[in-house]
Amino acid sequence: MEASNEMGLKLIGFWASPFCLVVEVALKLKGFTYDYQEENLEEGKSESLLRYNPIYKSVPVFIHDARPIVESLVILEYLEDLLREPPLLPADPFARARVRFWVDFFYKKIVPPLRSIVVKEGVEQEKVISESTQHLRTLEQAAAEEFPTETPFFCGDLPGLLDIVFGSTVCWIRVLEELTGSQMMSKETTPVLCRRIESFTGCHAVKEAMPKHEKLLAYARRLRERILALNAG
C-alpha cells in the first residue's frame, strides 16, 4: 500500500512537544504524506485546534478525512491499524504486551518527573531529577534483559513503538540535563539506552522531525522563566 495525501491526512502539532514528535516520526516511518499545521502555543490556541479537540484542547491532533483522532498513543494505534507496514509492534502477542508495558511505564513513571524538572527549584528539582534518573536506570535494565541487545532497536532492525516513544523524549532529556547541570543518562550508566538513541536519531525520518537542541533549550528557558514568574506572582 502506498500512502499519499489523497487520504486527507493532517497533523496539528507543536514543534517542541515530544507527544507530537512521536506522531510525526511514526507518520514518516510509515511513509504517509500529510499536511501539517503548526500551533503557536506560546501565543494561544487556534480555533481549529479547539474545534477538533474540544475535550483536551491539546496537541497532537491527527485528522483523517476531516475526522479527528487525539492523544499520541491513540493516534499511533490508529496509524498501525491504517497501515501495518512497517510495523510499530512485534508480531508475537507476548512481545507486543511487553512493549506496551514499557511504553506505559515510560509515560507514567519517567515523563511526569521530567516535565516537572523545568518548573522546580533547589531540593525539589534535585528530587525529580533523581526520580527520573532512577526510572531511566530501570528502563536500562529492561532494555538489557528483556529485549535483544544485538539489534539496533528494541525489537529488531526497525524502530518500533518503544523506540519512538523513548527516542522522541531524549531531546528533552538532553535539554533538561544542560538546563540543570545534571546527567540522567550516559554511556557508562545507561549504555543500552544510549545505543538505542544513536540508532533512532540516525534514522532519516527522525532527523527530519527532531527539533534542534539550541532552539529547544531556548524554549525551555523561556518556559521556565514564565512559569516561575507566574508562581512567584
Q: For 62-115, what is each residue's pLDDT tens digit? A: 999 999 999 999 999 999 999 999 999 999 999 999 999 999 999 999 999 999
CA-to-CA distance for 163 and 22, rounded, in angstroms? Answer: 10
Among 47, 82, 117, residue at a domain's last position:
82
Final residue before a domain boundary, out of 56, 82, 108: 82
The answer to whether the beta carbons of residues 8 and 64 sit under 8 Å apart is yes
pLDDT per position as a tens digit, 152-180: 999 999 999 999 999 999 999 999 999 99
* CATH number of the CATH domain containing 172: 1.20.1050.10
Asked if 59 and 135 sit in the same domain, the reply is: no
Q: Examine the domain organization and report whether 11 and 31 are in the same domain.
A: yes
Residues 6+ apart with CB under 8 A from 5: 33, 34, 35
Q: What pLDDT, in 10s, does the model give residues 107-125? A: 999 999 999 999 999 999 9
Q: Which residue type sits at 93?
A: P
Nearest to 194, CA basis, from 177, 179, 208, 180: 177
Q: Judge contact between 154 and 147, C-beta under 8 A.
A: yes
Q: Are 129 and 189 part of one and the same domain?
A: yes
Residue pLDDT, tens place only, 217-226: 999 999 999 9
In a domain, 101, yes or no: yes
What integer pLDDT is reported at residue 119 of this predicted model?
92
State the residue range of the domain holding 132. Answer: 93-232
